[in-house]
């Protein structure tokens, strides 16, 4: 019974993570400019990767593999915002201007 | 010196966990390489200067992370909904927010917290101001409300 609950929980997390990865990819294609696309990538590497890793931890139980997974999550939580920030700052420095305001018509004509 | 020793201890514990082999020869090699890393860190004069973040990490941060996780989950749900909405209801906004932290590590924590929540992105740090790109106007307003800023500043005080 308890096994079943753990499995259900773990698979829910794995599927949620997979769904978030998919949505992140869709967002990368749909959103209009570089800066908004970084937000879509953010969905991939917080919720997407995070949910999958926690789901895998539930599968592994209290083993060495789980400790490694915790370390992977920790490193990701520190490095991914740093990478996003570096990208955004480089784009800003390179003279790329973010498009602001309501983007409805804009995005339509752009796709 | 205690800093160097505890750095060595943390490194060796990490080494043991990652390798999983407890044979004397492998443990000895691990001990040697950890000692070598501590030696390099000492020579580079990194041990004392870079120690502060660890203090902050194991102190109040444990109370801050659950709140941050919740923020991340909620903003993820919001961004996912907007991406999947056929009308793509976004309103990209640039905003300067105040970072009221006193130390570099506090400001970095705040900027990283902003960036890791999907929908807001720290683009530039200037003095005590952070330039933030938000996916929606509501996201920018929520950040300007300053709750995250207050919580990160609180971390700093007690460290």
Find the CATH number of the domain harbouring B99.
3.30.70
pLDDT, tens digit, for every residue of B112-156? 999 999 889 998 888 889 999 999 888 888 888 888 988 888 877
Cα separation values, A83 from A19, A38, B8, B96, B130, Å: 23, 10, 28, 21, 17
Q: Structural domain of residue B86, as residue ranges?
A: 59-157
Q: What is the SS3 string spanning B97-133?
A: EECCCCCHHHHHHHHHHHHHCCCEEEEEEECCEEEEE
Domain count, chain B: 2
Q: How far is A14 from chain B (nearest CA, A)?
A: 15
B128/B65 same-domain check = yes
A67 chain-B contacts, CB cut-off 8 A: 17
B75/B15 same-domain check = no
B81/B151 same-domain check = yes
A88:B123 CB<8 A: yes
Q: Structural domain of residue A16, as residue ranges?
A: 2-84
Q: Of all residues in chain B, what percent carry a pLDDT higher than 70?
A: 91
B152 in Cβ contact with B101 (< 8 Å) = yes
B24/B78 same-domain check = no
Residues of chain A that touch chain B, judged by Cβ-Cβ distance less than 8 Å: 20, 23, 26-27, 30-31, 33, 35-36, 38-40, 42-43, 46-47, 50, 64, 67-68, 71, 77-78, 80-82, 84-85, 88-89, 92, 98-104, 107
Q: Of all residues in chain A, what percent carry a pLDDT higher than 90?
A: 45
Q: Across chain B, what does the average pLDDT equal?
A: 85
- Residue B53: inside a domain, yes or no? no
Q: How far apart are CA B132 and CA B114, in angstroms?
A: 8
Q: How far apart are CA B55 and CA B106, in angstroms?
A: 12
């Amino acid at each position: 019974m308890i096994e079943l609950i753990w499995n259900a929980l773990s698979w829910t997390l794995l599927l949620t993570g997979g769904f978030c990865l998919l949505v992140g990819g869709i967002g990368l294609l749909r959103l209009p400019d570089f800066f908004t696309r970084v937000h879509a990538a953010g969905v991939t590497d917080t919720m997407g990767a995070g949910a999958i890793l926690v789901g895998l931890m539930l599968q592994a139980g209290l083993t060495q593999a789980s400790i490694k997974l915790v370390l992977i999550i920790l490193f990701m939580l520190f490095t991914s915002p740093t990478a996003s920030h570096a990208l955004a700052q480089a784009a800003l420095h390179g003279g790329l201007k973010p498009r602001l305001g309501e983007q409805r018509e804009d995005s339509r004509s752009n796709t | 010196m205690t800093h160097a020793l505890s750095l060595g201890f943390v490194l060796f514990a990490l080494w043991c966990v990652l390798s999983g082999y407890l044979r004397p020869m492998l443990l000895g090699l691990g001990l040697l390489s950890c000692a070598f890393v501590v030696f390099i860190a000492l020579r580079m004069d990194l041990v004392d200067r870079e120690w502060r973040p660890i203090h902050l990490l194991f102190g109040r941060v444990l109370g801050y992370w659950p709140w941050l996780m919740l923020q991340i989950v909620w903003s993820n749900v919001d961004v996912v909904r907007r991406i999947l909405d056929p009308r793509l209801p976004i309103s990209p906004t640039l905003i300067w927010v105040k970072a009221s932290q006193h130390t570099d590590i506090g400001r970095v924590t705040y900027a990283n917290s902003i960036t890791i929540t999907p929908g807001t992105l720290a683009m530039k740090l200037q003095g005590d101001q952070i330039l933030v790109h938000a996916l929606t106007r509501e996201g920018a307003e929520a950040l300007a409300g300053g709750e995250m800023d207050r919580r990160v500043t609180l971390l700093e005080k007690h460290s």
